[in-house]
Structure 1
Amino acid sequence: MLRTTLVQKSAVRSLATFASPESVLPKKYGGRFTVTLIPGDGVGQEITDSVKTIFKAQNVPIDWEVIDVSGLESSGKNGVTEAVESLKRNKVGLKGILYTPTGSSAKSLNVALRKELDIYASLVLIKNIPGVKSRLDGIDFALVRENTEGEYSGLEHQSYPGVVESLKIMTRFKSERIAKFAFDFAKKNNRQLVTAIHKANIMKLGDGLFRQTVKDVGQDYSGIEVNDLIVDNASMQAVAKPQQFDVLVTPNLYGSILSNIGAALIGGPGLVPGANFGREYAVFEPGCRHVGLDLKGQNTANPTAMILSSAMMLRHLGLNDEADKISAATYEVIADGKIRTKDIGGTSSTTEFTKAIVDKLA
């Protein structure tokens, strides 16, 4: 299992990831890593270009293997196959969000990619950023989301015209491994509380299994408290008193909802970094999975989430100095308040924001 650690440096809370001995780590050739880059749809090209610009300016030892795949094109499925093969070679990827059309039979390419490689754990960091005004302060929680089953199992069929059966699959095995991921994260990061999010009052078997499994796993982690919340109550608590949360562990759908609530709490989807882990592979992407089709090509998107996700990737690769510098420069630009994108109250372009970070690094 891939594991994670946070370190506090002034206002910057940095993420590093470490693999257990049985995990396969990426190989380094000539002092450089090759990383799969999937720009994705919407603003993906612009915000991954921001990362590429910053890495180039800092001489970060990363070579990109770019895989163009889009949920907007009929060839997207073939692109996922190419992306899977690239990730199998490189073990690590940086990814924009792939568009999933509503009201059609097209499957989510994001889900397909995670399932194909069994990238089962999503980690999203929800924390106030100095310089970004929000209604509530003191927000600092991690959201650990199971990526491969639950409502996202994708098993649906129409048994009779107008009657659709959608199967929600929950297993003890997958509930247990995501629970262990959450508790390992809490232990390594001095977090004191893990909260299981569920709807076991109604879905007594499926969500009941998830809730009980998390509690059972928690017995093996002394010093870490475990409790649980029904998802609708958790959503209310998130907007009323998010400071009570430390680590949340959720099935897939509930994690998707709560990550969006968390993003709104701290200033929007452009600020939330994230990562996805399996036993062998790690894919880093913004934690709040918004495509931004309406912003495409306007050079106005906030690249912060992608930049911070890329810094998480660097720490995963052991490039801690580069990660710390890039994270610190990003936070400094936001805190200065002179250069900021439209979503956080400014008028600066993506390019201008990126240049300001490069200038801080000079």
Structure 2
Amino acid sequence: MFRHSLTKRTLATVATTEKMLPKKYGGRYTVTLIPGDGVGKEVTDSVVSIFKAENVPVDWDRIEVSGVDKTEDVKAAVESLKRNRIGLKGIWHTSPADQAGHGSLNVALRKELDIYANVARFKSIPGVKVKIPDVDLVVIRENTEGEFSGLEHESVPGVVESLKIMTQDNIERIARFAFDYAKRNERKQVVAVHKANIMKMGDGLFKNLVQEVGEKEYPELDVGNIIVDNASMQTVAKPHQFDVLVTPSMYGTILGNIGAALIGGPGLVAGANYGRDVALFEPGSRHVGLDIKGQNVANPTAMILSSVLLLNHLGLSTSAERISKAVHEVIAEGKSVTRDIGGTASTTEFTEAVINKLAVL
């Protein structure tokens, strides 16, 4: 849990402060639960079952977002998160074929609540076969602007203009968040990912401000920068050279998919999103799983480990440690793992194995 004095700087850069910690009633917390699309319901159901078995003091405020017009449901999700200040969420599907102007609900939710920092850690898990072992890489991306500003228009027929917004305040905010994260987690290096050789003003501003914040305010940490296409190649070839990467929105999504591939797939990556008032936990790799929806074959590990981050945020470290240990032991044993990591177990069978493991820890 991040606890800081309420200075101007920490209010601008720290995801969780005393004023936004979730309220506790009768020894229990109320957490917004948004299952999402695709396999979202299956993997969030896994978390609900595990929390029940572990007697975690959490009550769920479930928000279903479905149907053609999701506007009212999204409003309900926003209001729930404003009340509870913490949530667990599956991924909402954004169709490239949608020409109605709805855009990404995921981005809209983050912008509405100013959930500006996304954190995904790509760490090798014992028992999962990978080509490059011992990966441990963190990608922190700005959630609310850049290419994901969502500002597009057709100026004349056949000509579309998309606005990429980069602002000093938001760049400095995500930079300080990344450096603060590195300090808290005993990381030694923060590298800004950019395309300033082409987008000299927008990405140039990002590169220069991250460098400036690092050198002036965090002299104990190494700070560097790398062009996004080179970063992609280097992450695939030599991921161990990186510690924390801080990126604008689109580049973080790209590197996040590379990170997921390095450690065994999107079903293994936990993620968290932080804002001034709300913390929202969801899988760290942006995959909905529409192709396997309803088949009971999805790997719930990413969602379970995201819920572990949620528990740590609430200060429920004992339950967090137990659930994390149970998941890692089940995967290491390899008897009840899902097919994406070489097993034959269903989602429910994996969940039951974790619950059984908790019973003997």
With normalisation by structure 1, the TM-score equals 0.94
What CA deviation, in whole Å up to 9, does each residue of 1:314-357 have, x standing for no partner? 00000000000000000000000111101001110000000000
Find the counterpart in structure 2 of residue 120 from structure 1.
Answer: 116
* Structure having the larger proportion of residues in strand: 1
Pick the aligned partner of 2:93 from 92, 99, 111: 99
Find the counterpart in structure 2 of residue 139 from structure 1.
Answer: 135
SS at match of 2:163: strand
Note closer, same or farther for the CA distance 1:18–1:59 as it changes in structure 2 (3 Å cut). farther
Q: Contact 2:16/2:275 (CA < 8 Å) preserved in 1? A: no
Q: Contact 1:18/1:316 (CA < 8 Å) preserved in 2? A: no
Q: Are residue 42 (structure 1) and residue 38 (structure 2) matched?
A: yes
With normalisation by structure 2, the TM-score equals 0.94
How do 1:1-362 residues align onto structure 2 when only pairs under 5 Å count? Answer: 3=2, 19-21=16-18, 23-70=19-66, 73-105=67-99, 106-219=102-215, 220-362=217-359
5+ residue gaps in structure 2?
Answer: 4-13
| Cα distance in 2 between the residues matched to 1:89 and 1:335 | 39
Query: In structure 2, what residue type is equivalent to 1:278?
Result: G
Identity between Structure 1 and Structure 2 (%): 65
| Cα distance in 2 between the residues matched to 1:44 and 1:161 | 38
SS at match of 1:19: coil
Query: In structure 1, what residue type is equivalent to 2:91?
Result: I
What CA deviation, in whole Å up to 9, does each residue of 1:173-203 have, x standing for no partner? 0000000000000001110000000000000
| Cα distance in 1 between the residues matched to 2:146 and 2:198 | 15
Query: In structure 2, what residue type is equivalent to 1:344?
Result: I
| Cα distance in 1 between the residues matched to 2:156 and 2:296 | 47
5+ residue gaps in structure 1?
Answer: 5-16
| Cα distance in 2 between the residues matched to 1:20 and 1:283 | 14
Query: In structure 1, what residue type is equivalent to 2:340?
Result: D
| Cα distance in 2 between the residues matched to 1:246 and 1:69 | 36
* Structure having the larger proportion of residues in helix: 2
Q: Deviation of residue 3 (structure 1)?
A: 4.1
What CA deviation, in whole Å up to 9, does each residue of 1:94-117 have, x standing for no partner? 000001111223311101100000
Query: In structure 2, what residue type is equivalent to 1:287?
Result: G
Larger mean CA deviation between 104-113 and 298-307 belongs to 104-113
| Cα distance in 2 between the residues matched to 1:34 and 1:3 | 19
| Cα distance in 1 between the residues matched to 2:321 and 2:168 | 38
Q: Deviation of residue 138 (structure 1)?
A: 2.1
Q: Deviation of residue 18 (structure 1)?
A: 7.7
Q: Deviation of residue 75 (structure 1)?
A: 2.3
| Cα distance in 1 between the residues matched to 2:291 and 2:69 | 22
| Cα distance in 2 between the residues matched to 1:149 and 1:195 | 19
What CA deviation, in whole Å up to 9, does each residue of 1:254-273 have, x standing for no partner? 00000001000100000000
Larger mean CA deviation between 167-176 and 75-84 belongs to 75-84
What CA deviation, in whole Å up to 9, does each residue of 1:22-80 have, x standing for no partner? x411110000000000000000000000000000001000000000014xx32212111
What CA deviation, in whole Å up to 9, does each residue of 1:191-245 have, x standing for no partner? 0000000000000000000000101110211210000000000000011000111
| Cα distance in 2 between the residues matched to 1:138 and 1:350 | 26
Q: Contact 1:195/1:227 (CA < 8 Å) preserved in 2? A: yes
| Cα distance in 2 between the residues matched to 1:46 and 1:187 | 36
Query: In structure 1, what residue type is equivalent to 2:271?
Result: G
Q: Deviation of residue 277 (structure 1)?
A: 0.2
Q: After the TM superposition, list the runs of 4 or more consecutive aligned residues in structure 1 that deviate by more than 6 angstroms.
A: none
| Cα distance in 2 between the residues matched to 1:170 and 1:74 | 32
Q: Deviation of residue 130 (structure 1)?
A: 0.3
Q: Contact 1:3/1:181 (CA < 8 Å) preserved in 2? A: no
Query: In structure 2, what residue type is equivalent to 1:142?
Result: V
Size of the aligned set, in residue pairs, is 346
Query: In structure 2, what residue type is equivalent to 1:84?
Result: V
Q: Contact 2:141/2:248 (CA < 8 Å) preserved in 1? A: yes
Q: Deviation of residue 246 (structure 1)?
A: 0.2
Find the counterpart in structure 2 of residue 12 from structure 1.
Answer: none
Query: In structure 1, what residue type is equivalent to 2:350?
Result: F
Find the counterpart in structure 1 of residue 7 from structure 2.
Answer: none
Query: In structure 1, what residue type is equivalent to 2:135?
Result: I
